[in-house]
Amino acid sequence: MNETCISSPPGKQNGDFRIALYPGTFDPITNGHIDIIERGLQLFDRIIVTVAVNVQKTPLFSLEERCTMIRECFKDTGNRVEIGYTDGLIVNYALKNNARTIIRGLRAISDFDYEFQLALMNRRLERTVETVFLMTAFRWIYISSSNIKNAARCKGNVTGLVPEHVERALKEKFA
């Protein structure tokens, strides 16, 4: 697997708008992720939601399923939210897509240590790509894709924590 590159919207030159990446495994996408993306759209002209292939994780959903679920969430945003994927370095993917910013969401202090290390490594690898941290909205602070999967696996109610189509997909996976 390689990666997909997103081209610039028609009528815009690369320097005329701000593009950010929001990388993650999104297995599955949650309302917390959606909140970060929607708030990121207030800061950036376009966000490329980048499904990162992490060899250290075994996803519940295939890459295609995750991209489809994300696409469904943002079908009404025109070209402001794009979906891409990579199994390479996020900073390299950012450069290929003319993005100079990586968005990361923080839920708690425990997230900060990992995210800070990741941001410093990315900065070391590519100095022209910045990382911006957005605090998760308080109502989503306790959810993660892992928590959602565990609850769904045990037949817990995840209504309101993920979009309806994601909830249906979880029920199908654990039926």
Q: What CATH number is attached to the domain comprising 119?
A: 3.40.50.620
Q: What is the pLDDT of residue 9?
A: 46
Decide if 32 is inside a domain. Answer: yes
Decide if 157 is inside a domain. Answer: no
pLDDT tens for each residue of 130-152: 999 999 999 999 999 999 999 99
Decide if 171 is inside a domain. Answer: no
* Helix (H) or strand (E) segment spanning residue 55: none
Count of the separate structural domains present in the chain = 1
List residues with catalytic annotation: 33, 57, 107, 145
pLDDT tens for each residue of 149-164: 999 999 999 999 999 9
Is this model's pTM higher than 0.85 or not? yes
Per DSSP, 139 falls in state G
Decide if 150 is inside a domain. Answer: no
Q: What is the pLDDT of residue 16?
A: 57
Mean pLDDT over 47-63 rounds to 93
